[in-house]
Amino acid sequence: MARQAKAVLKNAKVSPKKARPVADAIRGKGVDEALKVVRFSKKKAAEFLQQTLESAIANAQHNHDMDLDNLKVEEVLVDQGQKLKRLKPRALGRADVVQKRSSHIKITLVEEE
């Protein structure tokens, strides 16, 4: 069985809908190419994915003694986190609920042979 290294970022202040396209862009790629994609992406979610990817790489090197050249992004999950509910004043004394969404990001790396 191939060795795996994981990293999780909880409650990232970006909605899952906005983070998933960036996650799809790095899924299945080598670590070097995935880092380039998130570094040069203009999306806000790319910052959170870069942080989580770098953490997974550090876990692979230090905790599991994996070789950096053989690492591949196997799985990228972006799930919904907590929602902060805020009220926005509207006309005639009414209010609308604004939901500020967050994401849980999980990245799994696998060592190819």
**How much is the pLDDT for 104?**
98
- Residue 42 reports pLDDT greater than 80: yes
**How much is the pLDDT for 1?**
61
Give CA–CA dist 101/13, Å, rounded. 7
63-111 pLDDT tens trace: 999 999 999 999 999 999 999 999 999 999 999 999 999 999 999 999 9
**How much is the pLDDT for 28?**
94
Across 13-17, average pLDDT: 97
The closest alpha carbon to 39, from 23, 29, 50, belongs to 50
Q: Are 103 and 81 in contact (CB under 8 A)?
A: yes
Say what percent of the chain tops pLDDT 70: 99
Q: Which residues pair with 98 in a beta bridge?
A: 86
- How many C-beta neighbours within 10 Å does residue 107 have? 27
Q: Where are the domains of the chain?
A: 4-111
CATH top-level class for 4-111?
A: alpha beta
- Residue 27 reports pLDDT greater than 90: yes
pTM: 0.91
